[in-house]
Structures are given as C-alpha cells and as structure tokens.
Amino acid sequence: MINEGIVGNEARIAVRSEMVRQMQTLGRATADVWERAVFESVTGGKREDVDWNVEDNQAGYHAWIKSFDGLVGELVDDGFVRREEIDGTSVLVAENTDPSIDWPTTSNR
C-alpha cells in the first residue's frame, strides 16, 4: 500500500478513507494526533517503535508526512474536516461523524 512512505495513486483512496475513519473516531484532534492514529492504522506500528537512526526510515517518514499533509488539505477542501483554533492550538474537526454519508471527493466531483 505504501512504498517507502510515498502514498501513490492506488493507495491514496485507501489512506484518505482511513484518515476519514480515524477523524470520525477522534472527532477533533491536532494534525499530529491524527497522523499518529492513521500511521498506526495503516502500518500496524507506532512511530515510537521506528528506528529513526536508519536513513531509509527518515526519508520514508519525510515522504509520508508530505503525502499526509497534502491529503489533509484535500479533506479540508472536500468538506470532511475543518480547521479550528482552540486556545491558540490548531485542531482539525470532523465535519460529519456519520459514516453512512457518501461525501464528495476530489476524484468524483
């Protein structure tokens, strides 16, 4: 699904879906908390368990974060989540927590 941290076209839909599922579960979260939940769900591991001394892991995570940030922007644009400021901290909030709703996506508009 994810090759060296890069979310390719075929994995993009699956990762977006998992991001939505995780945000529905969280309700609201910082980008870091949301990313950690998605990372664990998609990879089966926690960031804390990764050996960051391995250069390939560092490069893969950099690519993952870049892809994740891009998908966050898409999900905000598509109306799945919105950004809020709470006590000076930026959080993302699920726009609708009903998983039965077929929300629009960038790919099917």
pLDDT tens digit sequence for 28-57: 999 999 999 999 999 899 989 989 889 998
Which residues, 6 or more positions from 98, have their beta carbon under 8 angstroms from its beta carbon?
none
Q: Which domains does the chain have, with CATH numbers?
A: 9-104 (1.10.10)
> What does the angle CA 56 – CA 51 – CA 8 come to, to the nearest 5 degrees?
45
Task: Provide the percentage of residues in the chain whose pLDDT is more than 90.
Answer: 52
Q: What is the pTM of this model?
A: 0.78
Give me the chain's average pLDDT, please: 83
Residue 90's DSSP bridge partners are: 85
User: Is residue 1 over pLDDT 50?
Assistant: no
Nearest Cα neighbor of 44 from 1, 99, 92 is: 1
